Structure 1
Amino acid sequence: MELWVRIPLRKSHGTPTDSNSEYPKDSWELWNAFRRLCDYDSNLSVALDVESMLLPSQNSLERWLGESVKAVIISTEVIADCFVQTARGYLLTSYGEELITRFFHHSVQIIISGSTLHDLQKESVNITEGKFSLVLVGADGTHTHPYKPYWDYVSNLFYSMELLSEQERIELRYRDRMCTLSQPLKDNLDAEAYEMLEQDSYKYIQYKRAIARALKDRVPNEKASELTTVLMVVGAGRGPLCQSIIGAEKTDRKVKVYAVEKNPNAVVTLHDLVKANGWEGTVTVISCDVRFWNAPERADILVSELLGSFGDNDLSPECLDGAQRFLKPDGISIPFSYTSFIQPVTTSKLYSDIKSHNKHSYFETAYSVKMHSVARLAPSQPVFTFTHPNFSKKHNNEGYRKLYFDLPRDMGSALVHGFAGYFEAFLYDDVHISIEPTTTTPNMFWWFPVFFPLVKPVEVHSKTPIEAHFWRFNDSTKVWYEWSVATFPTGSPIHNTNGSSYWIDL
Structure 2
Amino acid sequence: MASSETLNAESQDFTLSKPTFYIGHHDSSRSYTLSDEEHGRVLDAGYSFVTTPITNEFFYDRVVQLYRVHLEERQKWVQERGLSTSQSHNPSLPGPVVPTLTNKDTSLFPSSYVGSLVAYASPWIDVTSSDPIIASISRQALNLEVAYANFCGVRSIVIPGPRRDDGRKEVGQYARAIQETLGVATRANIIIHIPMYREPGLEESTELLSRVLGEKLGSSSEPDEEIDIFSAWDTWHTIRTACNYSHRLFVALRVPRRLPESELQSRWFAEPLHYLSFGPSTFQKNRSGSPCLSKYHQAMINGYMRLKNAPWILLYDVAPSQENLRVVNASSSADFPTLTEAKEALKENRKSNSPALNPYVSYMRYLERQQPPFGVLETATLTSFQDWLQSPLQPLSDNLESATYEMFEGDPVKYDQYEYAITEAMVEWKKFGRQASGIPYEGQPEPELVVTVAGAGRGPLVTRALRAAESTGTRIQLWALEKNQNAYVYLLRQNEQEWNGQVTVVKTDMRGWEGPRAKGHPEVITKVDILVTELLGSFGDNELSPECLDGIQRHIARPHGISIPHSYTAHLTPIGTPRIFADLSSRSLSDPNAFETPWVVRLFAIDFVARGVPPHKRFQQAWEFVHPVEVSRVDDFAAEHGLASKYTTDGVGSMSGSSGLNEHNARHCHLTFLCPAQGVVHGIAGYFESVLYAPQEEGKDKVELSTVPDQIDRKSKDMISWFPIFFPLKAPLYFPQDSDLEVSMWRQTDDSKVWYEWVVEAFAWVGPNKRVKVGASELHSSRRVACLM
Question: What TM-score does the superposition give when structure 2 sets the normalisation length?
Answer: 0.57
After superposition, where does 1:102-181 map in structure 2 within 5 Å? 102-106=303-307, 107-116=310-319, 142-145=352-355, 148-169=358-379, 170-181=381-392
Residue of structure 1 in register with 2:253 after alignment? 48
Shift of residue 279, structure 1, vs aligned partner: 3.4
Q: Distance in 1 between matches of 2:271 and 2:718?
A: 27
- The structure 1 residue matched to 2:627, chosen from 388, 392, 400, is 388
- SS of match in other structure, 1:86: coil
Deviation digits for residues 18-75 of structure 1 (CA, Å, limit 9, x no counterpart): 995499652111111222233333332211122x312221112111111111111111
- State the match for 1:101 in structure 2: 302
Aligned AA (1:352): A
1:324 pairs with one of 540, 547, 553: 553
Q: Deviation string for 1:360-388 (max 9, x for gaps)?
A: 42011011111222122232111121000
Q: Distance in 2 between matches of 1:387 and 1:222?
A: 24
| Cα distance in 2, alignment partners of residues 362 and 210 from structure 1 | 38
SS of structure 1 residue aligned to 2:286:
strand
1:291 CA displacement = 1.8
Distance apart, 1:76 and its partner CA: 2.0
- Contact (CA 8 Å) 2:682, 2:729: kept in 1 or not? yes
Provide the residue aligned with 1:452 in structure 2: 727
Partner of 1:131: none
CA shift for structure 1 position 89: 5.6
Contact 2:754 2:783 in 1 (8 A): no
**CA deviation after TM superposition for structure 1 residue 117, in Å:** 9.6
Distance across 1 between alignment mates of 2:374 and 2:689: 25
Considering only aligned residues, what root-mean-square deviation do their CA atoms show, in Å?
2.5
Aligned residue for 1:489, secondary structure, equals strand
Matched residues in 2 for 1:5 and 1:377: separation? 23
3-state SS, counterpart of residue 404 of structure 2: helix
Greater relative CO, 1 or 2 (CA 8 Å, sep 6+): 1
Does residue 63 of the first structure (1) align with residue 267 of the second (2)? yes
CA distance in structure 2 between the partners assigned to 1:89 and 1:74 by the alignment:
15
Deviates more, 1:106-115 or 1:310-319: 106-115
What per-residue deviation string (whole Å, max 9, x for no partner) do you get for residues 202-253 of structure 1?
A: 2111111111111111123889993411011110111111111111111111
1:174-323 map, 5 Å: 174-220=385-431, 226-249=446-469, 250-280=471-501, 282-295=502-515, 296-323=525-552
Asked if residue 475 in structure 1 is aligned to residue 686 in structure 2, the reply is: no
Amino acid at match of 2:748: F
Give 1:102 deviation, angstroms. Answer: 2.4
Structure 1 residue 344 corresponds to structure 2 residue 574: yes
Gaps of 5+ in 2: 1-187, 200-219, 325-349, 437-444, 516-524, 611-617, 634-662, 695-701, 763-772
Alignment of 1:3-22 (within 5 A): 3-10=190-197, 20-21=222-223
**1:130 match:** none
String of CA shifts for 1:109-141, please: whole Å, max 9, x gaps: 1100014499x99xxxxxxxxxxxxxxxxxx97
Q: Distance in 2 between matches of 1:115 and 1:309?
A: 48
Is structure 2 residue 707 aligned with structure 1 residue 439?
Answer: no
Deviations, residues 379-421 of structure 1 (Å, cap 9, x unaligned): 21111210000123567010111111112x3xx3111111111
State how far apart, in whole Å, the 1-side matches of 2:397 and 2:351 are.
73
Give the greater-gyration-radius structure (CA). Answer: 2
Q: How does 1:76-91 map to 2 (within 5 A)?
A: 76-79=280-283, 83-86=284-287, 90-91=291-292
Indicate if the aligned counterparts of 2:291 and 2:363 stay in contact, CA closer than 8 A: no
2:679 pairs, out of 414, 438, 441, with 414
Q: Are 1:28 and 2:236 counterparts?
A: no
Q: Would you say 1:491 and 2:776 are equivalent positions?
A: yes
Task: Tell me what 2:564 maps to.
Answer: 334
Match among 586, 598, 609 for residue 366 of structure 1 = 598
Distance of 1:78 and 1:163 partners within structure 2? 25
* SS at 2:536 equivalent: coil
In 2, the alpha carbon distance for the partners of 1:435 and 1:414 equals 25
Structure with the larger strand share: 1
1:464 aligns with 739
Q: Which of 167, 180, 189 is residue 2 of structure 1 equivalent to?
A: 189
Query: Cα–Cα, structure 1 residues 233 and 11, in superposed 2: closer, same or farther, change >3 Å?
Result: farther
**Partners in 2 of 1:309 and 1:171 — Cα distance?**
16
Contact 1:11–1:57 (CA<8 Å) still a contact in 2?
Answer: no
- What SS does the corresponding residue of 1:356 show, helix, strand or coil? helix
Of Structure 1 and Structure 2, which has the larger fraction of its residues in helix? Answer: 2
Q: 1:375: which partner in 2?
A: 607
Distance 1:141 1:314, change over 3 A: same
2:278 to 55, 71, 74: 74
Correspondence for 2:108: none
Quick one: distance in 2 between partners of 1:147 and 1:58? 35
Relative to structure 1, the CA distance from residue 300 to residue 393 in structure 2 (aligned partners, 3 Å threshold; closer, same or farther) is closer
In structure 1, C-alpha distance between the alignment counterparts of 2:550 and 2:221, rounded to whole Å = 62
Residue 436 of structure 1, CA deviation: 0.9
Contact 2:531 2:562 in 1 (8 A): yes
Letter in 2 for 1:113: Y
Q: Distance in 2 between matches of 1:222 and 1:299?
A: 17
Letter in 1 for 2:311: V
* Cα distance in structure 2, aligned partners of 1:143 and 1:239: 67
Partner secondary structure for residue 466 of structure 1: strand
Structure 1: distance between partners of 2:505 and 2:726: 36
Residues in 2 aligned to 1:168 and 1:271: alpha-carbon distance in whole angstroms: 36
DSSP-derived class of the 1:341 partner: strand
Q: SS at 2:236's partner residue? A: helix
Q: Which one of the candidate residues 665, 668, 671 is aligned to 1:400?
A: 668
CA apart distance, 1:87 = 6.7
Identify if the C-alpha distance between structure 1 residues 327 and 190 changes in structure 2 by more than 3 Å, giving closer, same or farther. same
**Larger CA deviation: 20-29 vs 361-370:** 20-29
Q: In structure 1, list runs of 5 or more residues that go unmatched.
A: 13-17, 122-139
Give the counterpart letter for 1:145 in structure 2.
P
Q: Does the 8 Å CA contact 2:194/2:252 hold for their aligned counterparts?
A: yes
**Matches of 1:167 and 1:381 in 2, distance apart?**
25
- Paired with 2:297 and 2:428, the residues of 1 have a C-alpha distance of 54
How far apart are 1:307 and its partner, in Å? 0.3
Distance 1:148 1:315 in 2: 60
Fraction of identical pairs, as percent: 33
Provide closer, same or farther for how the CA distance between residues 484 and 278 of structure 1 changes in structure 2, counting only shifts above 3 A: closer
Partner of residue 84, structure 2: none
Distance 1:8 1:167, change over 3 A: closer
